[in-house]
């Protein structure tokens, strides 16, 4: 989804940095004739162009250390100890009964109302403010509540009152008839995990981005169990090793795609029970599939009754005051990352999903929005100075760094991914190097590049040099998740790559034997675009559910404008299963592509070595380990005995986009072994000529024997 957010009273380290610098330089020169070697922080050591901003980088780093000391009593406890709010706040079963707690400093009175007291304020269910705090507590006997009871808080404050769902509620449900949301007492038999420990496979990380609700063929909201039974086996079969699940945190409006969260600790009940979600994650783990969650800490829904918008008469309890209160583009509220209570809430949220549900990590949504006062809106980010000009929210930077530290403290093998579009240096660099500690950042430039290329350039103007540069355009010290398209490109108002390539002809010419030139072109380029993107990764590769087989049509959730229809909020698996249609060609290719990539040990860590490019011919070749990737992007020119220098040896074809099994023409004999041809000029380089037949608009992957 998006990207952006947050502030701080400190206004940044960057401006202080500039002042410090000059003074430091002068004194350093006076002290010594021979200048001692400057010990640079890791981020600067890895990228000398950041030297001018080292003070700012160190300032941000020190800010995190200071805050970490504050939260851990100077290291006497841990961040993990600090992030246990979910065990204290909210409703919990105890040995003697029940206890309920809520942070609501502005409240003057809090009652629990629900099925148990006819939704009326009663003294028995009245909470008490804990001395010298903004916390409220209510202790109840065991018989006062039962599993399944619906409840809310009735909160009073100076000048007003209102019904509210507790901020820390772990179960929230919606009434089918009235559409009203309520918290629910949830005390089932504890889920018994079959796979108690799990370590994600990340060499490489192959992510299948998915949405539980729209994952079924039927025009309805899918469930955790249906996903486990119907979709998970497909993902396993296709060769992905990680699923990234959207819309887990409870959200009032289904059509928000899960990005306007109301209850941060509640797994969305529209998809089933918490135990059913745990069963899905457990089953994935048993099959070697990691599960990461699309977590939304960049903003929150405005709703007051269902959300945190005005929990106890103070709209700024969780959110920034003044002109930073609302996100100007998202119609949502911006968390105040400068408040320890808010940090406590959000860090506890991270730990909760890791420990209670065994998620393997998070994709953090909207990181750009968090990093800048402007939320990144209207900013160009053309040079390094744009990241250190005082427009950055130190509080948010601090929170994100703390979150990464906490997550890896709770699970050292956890995966964190930043959805970030500005290119902020250090985002996915180690904390000790002055980075923010994410394991990966989304390579958001790549889908933008492919879309721009398809939209603006004729096929004969596609330049391999430009393609190669863009798909490898990343910081050397930061791992990325490469992708051609995510859910963003599949939504109404945008277009998937397959639709940009084929458009309406998908409806009329996607039956085998019925394909026209437009369909043939689309099928060919869809495979080549994916292969180029996936084969140049330095961390992982992501695909959105259905895009691997060219799912037709956009995603449009039920809303007033479409008559509340589910027609476009689903996945038509029947299309890829139908062998009379062309969709399975793309799906089969995707599976073969991932198998090829994973055949090379530690593929993502092997260097990408350019062998050849020629923009005139539109030919590109590069190697990773023993795998040789060769592309001919020309729409019309095929080449016979096209030669380039490669390590001496024999090469076998392991993947051919033009294979008939993938909807191609089958112009190459893929059973042939290709031997390199001797050239005395390159003996010392241990290289010889490899000559290949390269049909137009095709790609080959060969393996050195």
3-state DSSP assignment of residue 355 = helix
Q: Which residues of 308-325 are buried (b: 16+ CB within 10 A; e: fewer)?
A: bbbbbbbbebbbbeeebe
What would you report as the CA-atom Rg of the chain, rounded to the nearest whole angstrom?
28
pTM: 0.93
CB atoms within 10 A of CB 641: 10
HEC profile of 151-178: EEEEEEECCEEEEECCCCCCCEEECCCC
- What does the pLDDT look like over 335-389, one tens digit per residue? 999 999 999 999 999 999 999 999 999 999 999 999 999 999 999 999 999 999 9
- What token pair was written down for 436? 């923010």
3-state DSSP assignment of residue 396 = helix
Q: What would the mean pLDDT of 458-473 be, rounded to a whole number? A: 98
d(CA 388, CA 411) in angstroms, rounded, equals 32
- What does the pLDDT look like over 98-135, one tens digit per residue? 999 999 999 999 999 999 999 999 999 999 999 999 99
Q: What does DSSP say about strands 361-364 and 415-418: parallel, antiparallel, or unpaired?
A: parallel
Helix-strand-coil percent breakdown of the chain, rounded to 5? 35, 25, 45
End-to-end distance of the chain based on CA atoms, in angstroms?
A: 43
108-112-118-122 Cα dihedral, nearest 10 degrees: -50
CB atoms within 10 A of CB 25: 9
- What token pair was written down for 440? 């990966």
d(CA 252, CA 258) in angstroms, rounded, equals 9
The residues, ordered by sequence, that sit 6+ positions from 601 with a Cβ below 8 Å of its Cβ are 203, 625
- What does the pLDDT look like over 13-57, one tens digit per residue? 333 333 333 334 333 444 444 445 668 999 999 999 999 999 999
Q: Which residue(s) pair with 678 in the sheet?
A: none
* Helices 274-286 and 340-357: angle between axes, nearest 10 degrees: 60
Q: Is 80 exceeded by the pLDDT of residue 8?
A: no
- What does the pLDDT look like over 441-461, one tens digit per residue? 999 999 999 999 999 999 999
For residue 604, give Cα distances in angstroms to 288, 597, 625: 19, 9, 10
What is the average pLDDT score of the chain? 94
Are the CB atoms for 406 and 347 separated by under 8 Å?
yes
Judged on CB neighbours under 10 Å (0-12, 13-18, 19+), 653 is buried
Are the CB atoms for 635 and 696 separated by under 8 Å?
yes
pLDDT at 33: 40
For residue 143, give Cα distances in angstroms to 98, 117, 118, 140: 9, 12, 15, 8
- What does the pLDDT look like over 608-627, one tens digit per residue? 999 999 999 999 999 999 99
- What does the pLDDT look like over 531-554, one tens digit per residue? 999 999 999 999 999 999 999 989
d(CA 129, CA 111) in angstroms, rounded, equals 11
- What token pair was written down for 637? 């020119």
d(CA 96, CA 86) in angstroms, rounded, equals 19
For residue 466, give Cα distances in angstroms to 360, 450, 451, 473, 619: 36, 11, 14, 10, 12
**Active-site annotation, residues:** 365, 419
The residues, ordered by sequence, that sit 6+ positions from 507 with a Cβ below 8 Å of its Cβ are 552
pLDDT at 492: 84
- What token pair was written down for 50? 């950041």
């Amino acid at each position: 989804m998006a990207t952006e957010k947050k502030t701080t009273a400190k206004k940044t380290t960057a401006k202080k940095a500039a002042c410090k610098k000059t003074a430091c330089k002068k004194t350093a020169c006076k002290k010594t004739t021979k200048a001692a070697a400057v010990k640079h922080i890791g981020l600067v050591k890895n990228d000398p162009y950041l030297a001018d901003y080292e003070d700012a980088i160190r300032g941000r780093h020190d800010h995190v250390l200071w805050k970490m000391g504050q939260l851990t009593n100077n290291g006497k406890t841990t961040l993990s100890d600090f992030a246990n709010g979910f065990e204290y706040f909210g409703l919990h079963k105890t040995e003697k009964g029940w206890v309920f707690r809520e942070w609501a400093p502005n409240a003057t009175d809090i009652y629990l109302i629900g099925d148990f007291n006819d939704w009326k304020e009663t003294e028995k269910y009245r909470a008490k403010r804990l001395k010298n705090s903004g916390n409220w507590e209510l202790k109840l006997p065991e018989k006062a509540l039962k599993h399944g009871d619906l409840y809310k808080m009735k909160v009073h404050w100076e000048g007003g009152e209102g019904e509210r769902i507790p901020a820390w509620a772990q179960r929230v449900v919606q009434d089918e008839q009235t559409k009203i949301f309520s918290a629910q007492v949830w005390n089932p038999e504890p889920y018994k995990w079959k796979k108690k420990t799990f370590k994600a496979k990340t060499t490489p990380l192959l992510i299948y981005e998915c949405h539980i609700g729209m994952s079924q063929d039927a025009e309805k909201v899918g469930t955790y169990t249906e996903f486990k039974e119907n979709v998970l086996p497909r993902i396993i079969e296709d060769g992905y090793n990680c699923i990234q699940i959207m819309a887990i945190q409870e959200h009032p409006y289904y059509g928000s795609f899960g990005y306007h969260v109301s209850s941060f600790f509640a797994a969305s009940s529209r998809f089933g029970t918490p135990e059913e979600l745990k069963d899905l994650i457990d089953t994935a783990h048993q099959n070697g599939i990691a599960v990461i969650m699309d977590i939304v800490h960049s903003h929150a829904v405005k709703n007051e009754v269902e959300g945190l918008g005005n929990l106890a008469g103070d709209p700024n309890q969780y959110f920034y005051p003044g002109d930073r209160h609302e996100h100007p583009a998202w119609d949502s509220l911006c968390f105040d990352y400068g408040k320890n209570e808010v940090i406590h809430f959000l860090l506890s949220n991270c730990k909760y999903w890791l420990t209670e549900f065994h998620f393997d990590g998070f994709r953090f949504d909207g990181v750009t929005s968090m990093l800048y006062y402007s939320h990144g809106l209207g900013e160009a980010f053309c040079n390094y100075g744009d990241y250190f000009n005082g427009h950055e929210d130190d509080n948010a930077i601090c929170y994100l760094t703390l979150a990464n530290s906490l997550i890896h403290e709770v699970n050292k093998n956890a995966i964190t991914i930043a959805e970030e579009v500005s290119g902020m240096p250090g985002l996915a660099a180690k904390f000790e190097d002055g980075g923010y500690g994410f394991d990966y950042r989304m390579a958001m430039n790549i889908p933008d590049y492919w879309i721009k290329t398809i939209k603006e350039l004729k096929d004969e103007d596609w330049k391999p040099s430009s393609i190669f540069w863009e798909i490898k355009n990343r910081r050397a010290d930061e791992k990325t998740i490469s992708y051609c398209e995510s859910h963003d490109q599949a939504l109404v108002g945008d277009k998937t790559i397959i639709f940009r390539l084929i458009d309406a002809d998908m409806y009329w010419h996607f039956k085998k034997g019925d394909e026209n030139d437009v369909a043939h072109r689309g099928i060919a380029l869809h495979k080549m675009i994916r292969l180029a993107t996936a084969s140049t990764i330095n961390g992982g590769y992501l695909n959105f559910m259905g895009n691997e087989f060219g799912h037709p049509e956009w995603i449009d959730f039920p809303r007033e404008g479409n008559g509340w229809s589910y027609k476009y909020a689903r996945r038509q698996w029947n299309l890829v299963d139908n062998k009379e249609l062309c969709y399975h060609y793309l799906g089969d290719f995707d599976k073969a592509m991932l198998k090829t990539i994973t055949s090379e040990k530690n593929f993502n860590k092997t260097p990408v070595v350019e062998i050849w490019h020629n923009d005139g011919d539109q030919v590109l070749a590069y190697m990773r380990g023993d795998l040789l990737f060769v592309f001919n992007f020309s729409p019309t020119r095929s080449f016979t005995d096209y030669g380039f220098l490669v390590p001496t040896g024999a090469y076998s074809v392991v993947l051919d986009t033009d294979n008939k099994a993938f909807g191609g023409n089958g112009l190459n004999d893929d059973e042939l072994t290709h031997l390199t041809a001797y050239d005395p000029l390159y003996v010392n380089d241990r290289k010889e000529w490899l000559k290949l037949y390269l049909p137009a608009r095709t790609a080959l992957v060969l393996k050195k024997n």
